[in-house]
Structure 1
Amino acid sequence: MPDTDAPASPGPQEDVVDLLLAQHAEIERLFLLVIGGTGDTRRDAFDDLVKLLAAHETAEEEVIHPLARTLPGSGGDAMVDERLAEERQAKETLQTLIAGGVDAGGFDTGIVLLRDAVLTHSRYEERYEFPHLRQHVPADRLRSLATAVRAAEATAPTRPHPSAQSAKGNLAAGPALAVVDRVRDAIRKPSKS
């Protein structure tokens, strides 16, 4: 299973859309492992999924959505506001699932509902937001944005925080939340052995 704490560096030709599409595929794969897994396999896949979703959404909120608001013909603010509403709802659901844990009653139903919501959200981004990025942003900038997304992910919280859901909110609260999350992760890690 890939280590979502240390993602591979983007290739020289990888642009931000390629990176985000690859992450969408990895998110879908992790959902399958959580839904079909048991015991430690399920728990580890869920932990990886939580970290990837938190980092991925933070990076989109800091880098992609602000840019998408400015693109001609993209629906700008309305499109991004819809994506942010979907992300906030997913973060709230994810917080509930984290609080109960993978063995809690209702987890199976909750994770399927979350998967459906997250994959629908991803498809909307792929259908509406990403094509506008490719159409209106020069290729060299798309490649540099992949680096910016990786940087945002490196300092992102490892848990969902629905209250920090904008570029400003993430930049203001994100580093502190990331430290708290990483300390919590470090404390929990030894208990898994």
Structure 2
Amino acid sequence: MAQTQKMDQLHTDDVVSVLRRHHDMIKEMFTEVDKASGARRDEAFMRLARMLCMHEAAEEEVVHPFVRDRVKGGDRIVQARMREEDDAKVMLTGMMAAGTDSRSFMADFKRLRSAMLQHIEAEEREEFPRLVKESSDADRRAMAEAIKAAAQAITLTDPRLGTPDAVMDRTRDVIRQSMGKAM
């Protein structure tokens, strides 16, 4: 019960709150892509792809190392989330290469959405509560600052960030720079 109350009282400067907001944005972006067509679908999908890559890179750099090192059973949790993230990255890369006008786009899109929604639910059910339990407010604030810096630095419409690897690399660079200052 106390753990549930702690999760409910998280502030906007807490890493779990930041990541949950990302999850909400990702869900909205999936809906936007699903409803769009033509050039609008392409633009919406590219924003979604960049958001997914930025979000996952931020988790890989900030959250997963903390969970792996500080949470009992954290390595198992992180390995499962990383497998899901790697599978999604492969799907996303293929979809980006094929384009939104590909015959298989909508089927691939539905598989990606389903996989990501399951991934989000697993993070929120397994990883986030353990992260809150095993970290201090200061830990979570520092992690949030690093992730917010990355989110501000990554423009979801920047054409130079055309591949998942480019977005993830840029995110990692910003986070590492930020964490050098914040942690």
160, 163, 177: which one aligns with 1:159:
163
Indicate conservation of the 8 Å contact 1:68/1:129, yes or no.
yes
**Could you say which residue in structure 2 is the equivalent of 1:117?**
115
Q: How many residues of Structure 1 are paired with residues of Structure 2 in the alignment?
A: 157
Task: Select the structure that is richer in helix.
Answer: 2
Is it true that 1:48 corresponds to 2:47 in the alignment?
Answer: yes
Q: CA deviation at 1:51?
A: 0.8
Structure 2: gaps spanning 5 or more residues: 1-10, 156-160, 174-183
Aligned mates of 1:155, 1:51 — CA distance in 2: 8
Distance 2:125 2:141 in 1: 20
Q: 2:180 maps to what in 1?
A: none
Aligned-pair identity (%): 37
Unaligned runs of 5+ in 1: 1-11, 162-169, 179-193
Partner of 2:16: 17
> What is the match of residue 68 of structure 2?
69
Point out 4+ residue stretches in structure 1 off by more than 6 angstroms: none
- Take 1:138 and 1:27, find their aligned partners in 2: how far apart are those partners? 27
| Aligned equivalent of 1:181 | none
- 2:101 is paired with a residue whose SS is coil
CA contact 1:34–1:45 (8 Å) conserved in 2: yes
Amino acid at match of 2:38: G
Deviation, structure 1 residue 109: 0.2
In structure 2, what is the equivalent of residue 106 of structure 1? 104
Q: Is the 8 A contact 1:71 1:132 kept in 2?
A: no
Give the TM-score normalised by structure 1. 0.73
